[in-house]
Amino acid sequence: MSTINEPYSVSDIRALKAKYDKLLSEISLHDRLYYRENNPRISDFEYDCLKSEVERLREILTIYSMETKDTTIGDDRTSGFQSFAHLSPMMSLANTYSREELFQFSNHLEAIVGPQKFSYVVEPKIDGIAINLIYKKGKFFKALTRGNGTIGDDVSANIKTIKGLPLKIENHFGSIEIRGEVYIDKQTFIGINKAREEQGLELFANPRNLAAGTVKTINIDEVIERNLKLITYAVGYCSEKIASFQSEVLECLKNLGFASQEKYWIAESIEEAWKYVEVLGAMRHTLPHWTDGAVLKINELQFYEMLGTTAKSPRWAIAYKFAPERAVTRINDIILQVGRTGIITPVANLESVLLSGTNVSRATLHNADEISKKDIRIGDYVTVEKAGEIIPAIVAVDTKKRSVNSMPFVFPKICPACGSQLVQLPSEVAWRCQNLCCLPQIQRRLEHFVSRTAMDIDGLGTAVIERLMADQKLDNIADIYRLTFNDLESLEKFGTKSALKILSNIDDSKNRPLWRLLHGFGILGIGEQTAKILAKHFRSLNNLIAATSEKLERLGGIGAKLSNAIVAFFREPHNVQILSDLRMLGVIHDDTHLETAQDQDQNLIFHAKNFILTGTLSSMTRQEAIEKIEHFGGKVSISLSRNVHILIAGENCGSKLEKAQSLGLEIWNETDLLRHLNGVMA
């Protein structure tokens, strides 16, 4: 909030107006990149600075009777989605980066509320995508994005992939809107970006952008893979009063079955609230979601009406945003890492610097384009920021501090490890080494194979693999099963006990479920979820090896590119040899794999399967059954065809049952359906 000390001349005002218009069009460009394309070019902090400068100019121009267009709150609506009106508007929050403004906010509230006492609730500000969940007569009706605040996009199908989202709530009166944030947790985000890096794809800037992109993804299998999560924090429209305090709202949401804020504080004064903001600031890195600030809300809902709203935000709440922590440091070197799939990733070795509570000494430079776009050079002084609190990123280069002898970084055209010619495949930004025998690639493939999400062989860490490779005991994944006690014990500083433990872990891994083995192969594009789908469907490696790409594509979620990659993988002569060795060594069993309860992902019973319902069900309506099946990723068809996988036969079903039997379809009765649904929901 600025004060105007000096009068402005007519030409000053004209210049300010021109600046105002320019900033507005800049903001509208960034709104488009942020809300519609999920590809921001500037940080949230820079965006908020632009916004507050626009507001400052608008105040001045209004005083000088200049007409100004209002800044909007952005609009996330995109083509391909149907729009619906919210029952009550979805507003934004006023935000600040300053403690002083937070105290001003409190003074302002006290002035309006008068002598009556009120308290605050301090909540984490989750940086994801705002969602409005509408329930009618206790049943899930729609999930809408914020859109323009009045009308949002219907993203129900994608939101229904969120595990644990209640489809029914104990609230049978009229309609209720539950408001919350959809997000992707930090660990999933890191995993997804790692996989993208290995595939030579551009990385997601932060978990918020990934969540925004996922909520608007058409391919449901991709949405399932991204593992969206939800935290609810408010009720929009509700046909009845459900609480008197915001803290009660949060508890009520929990009782209705929603994930709600786990961590929040009630404060009796703004001083106490500030203390909790600081506590949150210190602990936010430990939360599973990206937390970009604290939201202060008046706890007593009775004052909300009296305080009202501005055009964009309620006056009873404010967001205090944590300024991004940045640090200046020097790039000592730029090294090139060779990944599992041969992708070369440039990494900056930094003079170690403290950032967001940890020492940072490396920052990924992503790819050659990124280095040349930012003209990043060895010896440069750079500003480092943690993108989405997670990945250290170089946000600026101080060219003034550059030495006169500094030279642009030249990205090599040969592999730094094996000297092969690097190639850049069409549509990829990355450069790749295509030599399958390139040592770092072999090492990364072995590391992936033994990793926790694949064969889970404890004790075979990076250092052990590196030493075994140097001793020429490990060259491919089959060699793992040829390791002897002597091979391990002879490693420097390795005791008898550790050697025996690793051998026993290796032996145990021979009984892992098929999907783990498939995932461990590291076939391009096959993540954990796709591996599970393939294992569930084919049940043995032999069946999968025999599958044609047409057959693979008939499975939901597998496109032409992926099916060709799978077929090619199993035809490649080196791989054929390794598979035969693995068979001989007892790692591949030719009988069908029966998954253990722990490894079985019940969701896959419904995932990507086409169902058909016939006859009447006694325990639920037809619509409820459809909703439940769809919730777990199944599709319900109207007509019987060869594309249908399972027919659910209720009471008094007619000719469809016979036809399904003649087509050889799987048939469930109502008890089967309930058993499978309970399995999923347990």
Nearer to ligand IVH, 62 or 244 (CB): 244
Q: Is 31 in the site for ligand IVH (CB under 6 A)?
A: no
Q: Residues 125, 448, 516, 609: which binds ligand IVH (CB under 6 A)? A: 125
Considering the rule CB under 6 A, would residue 343 count as an interface residue with ligand IVH? Answer: no
Query: Binding of ligand IVH at residue 424 (CB under 6 A)?
Result: no
- With H, G, I as helix, E, B as strand and everything else as coil, classify residue 217: coil
Site for ligand IVH contains 280 (CB under 6 A): no
Q: How far is the CB of 184 from ligand IVH (least distance, A)?
A: 14
Q: Please say whether the beta carbons of 143 and 631 come within 8 A.
A: no
Provide the token pair at 119: 């308290």
Q: Does 235 bind ligand IVH (CB under 6 A)?
A: no
Find the binder of ligand IVH among 44, 123, 197, 221 (CB under 6 A).
123
When the beta carbons of 232 and 530 are compared against ligand IVH, the nearer one is: 232
Residue 112 CB, nearest approach to ligand IVH (Å): 17
Pairing state between β 95-96 and 317-321: parallel
Q: Are 139 and 171 in contact (CB under 8 A)?
A: no
The total of other beta-carbon atoms located within 10 Å of residue 528's CB is: 17
Q: Which of 24, 27, 60, 91 is the binder for ligand IVH (CB under 6 A)?
A: 91
For position 143 contacting ligand IVH by CB under 6 A, the verdict is no
Radius of gyration of the chain (CA): 29
CA-to-CA dists, residue 296 to 52, 97, 108, 273, 477, angstroms: 20, 13, 14, 8, 54
| Nearest-approach distance from CB 300 to ligand IVH, in angstroms | 16
Alpha-carbon distance of 160 to 635, in angstroms, equals: 13
**Within a 10 A sphere around the Cβ of 112, how many other Cβ atoms?**
12
Q: Does 233 bind ligand IVH (CB under 6 A)?
A: yes
User: Does 144 help bind ligand IVH (rule: CB under 6 A)?
Assistant: no
Residue number, 319 or 438, with CB nearest to ligand IVH: 319
How far is residue 86's CA from residue 131's CA, in Å, rounded to a whole number? 11
Helix locations, 609-669, DSSP H = 622-631, 655-663
Q: Does 89 bind ligand IVH (CB under 6 A)?
A: no
Contact 537, 555 (CB under 8 A): yes
Site string for ligand IVH, 158-197 (x = CB under 6 A): -----------------------x----------------
- Residue 43 binds to ligand IVH (criterion: CB under 6 A): no
- Report the amino acid identity of residue 259: A
For 510, counting Cβ atoms within 10 Å of its Cβ (0-12 exposed, 13-18 middle, 19+ buried), the class is middle
Nearer Cβ to ligand IVH (181/221):
181
State how far the Cα of 640 lies from the Cα of 663, in Å rounded to an integer: 10
Alpha helix stretches (DSSP H) within 203-269: 207-215, 220-226, 246-255
User: Residue 211 or residue 562: which is nearer to ligand IVH going by CB?
Assistant: 211
Cα separation, 516 vs 451, whole angstroms: 10
Residues 312-331 that bind ligand IVH (CB under 6 A): 313-314, 319
Q: 203-207 long-range CB contacts below 8 Å, 24 or more apart?
A: 203/366, 205/39, 205/40, 205/387, 205/388, 206/127, 206/290, 206/387, 206/388, 206/390, 207/127, 207/128, 207/183, 207/289, 207/290, 207/388, 207/390
User: Considering 17, 125, 168, 275, which one is annotated as catalytic?
Assistant: 125
Q: What residues numbered 496-555 form the site for ligand IVH, per CB under 6 A? A: none
How far apart are CB 57 and ligand IVH at their closest, in Å? 22
Q: Measured from the CB of residue 93, what is the shortest distance to ligand IVH in angstroms?
A: 4
Number of residues that bind ligand IVH (CB under 6 A): 14
Beta bridge partners of 136: 139, 175
* Among positions 27, 57, 126, 488, the unique one binding ligand IVH when judged by CB under 6 A: 126
Residues 98-117 that bind ligand IVH (CB under 6 A): none
Stretch near ligand IVH under the rule CB under 6 A, chosen from 125-133, 368-376, 520-528, 652-660: 125-133
Whole-angstrom distance, CA of residue 420 vs CA of residue 88: 61
Q: In the bound complex, what is the minimum distance in angstroms from residue 173's beta carbon to ligand IVH?
A: 23
| Separation between Cα atoms, residue 255 and residue 516, nearest integer Å | 37
Q: Which is nearer to ligand IVH, 34 or 538 (CB)?
A: 34
**Is 93 among the residues that bind ligand IVH (CB under 6 A)?**
yes
Answer for which of 234, 296, 355, 415 binds ligand IVH (CB under 6 A) is: 234
125 assigned to active site: yes
Q: For residues 134 and 319, which CB has a smaller minimum distance to ligand IVH in the complex? A: 319
Q: Which residue's Cβ has the minimum distance to ligand IVH?
A: 130
Nearer to ligand IVH, 126 or 394 (CB): 126
Binding ligand IVH by CB under 6 A: which of 92, 451, 505, 669?
92
Piece of the chain touching ligand IVH by CB under 6 A; list 6-14, 88-96, 478-486, 555-563: 88-96
DSSP conformation class of 168: B
Does the footprint of ligand IVH cover residue 295 (CB under 6 A)?
A: yes
| 424 Rama class: left (phi>0) / alpha (psi -120 to 50) / beta | beta
Residue pointed to by tokens 């403290």: 354
Least CB distance to ligand IVH at residue 316 (A): 9
Contact positions vs ligand IVH (CB under 6 A): 91-93, 123, 125-126, 130, 181, 233-234, 295, 313-314, 319
Q: Catalytic positions, please?
A: 125
